[in-house]
Amino acid sequence: MLRQLHALVVDDEPHCRDFLCRQIERLCPSLNILQTATSAREAERLIHELAPDVVFMDIHMPHQSGIELTNSLEH
């Protein structure tokens, strides 16, 4: 049996974040959304705290883009 994957959804726009969560729940019921974040700063904290398997992240956010955050994370 496959283990359940855990995800974090990151988007500064509430309607986009909610839409993505609904789509994931509808299309990927075995993917568990651990939490959502509204900024790169919050996402970085949650990534270290929760260690999700998958992160769905907006690339255009104020202060720090999703790409900048991804580049700053240790592998």
Regarding pTM above 0.95, the answer is no
Q: Is 16 within a domain?
A: yes
Q: Is 15 within a domain?
A: yes
Total of domains in the chain: 1
Per-residue buried b or exposed e for 25-40, using 16+ beta carbons within 10 Å of the residue's own CB = eeeeeeeebeebbebb
Q: Is 65 within a domain?
A: yes
Which domain CATH number covers 19? Answer: 3.40.50.2300
Stretches where the chain sits below pLDDT 50 are none
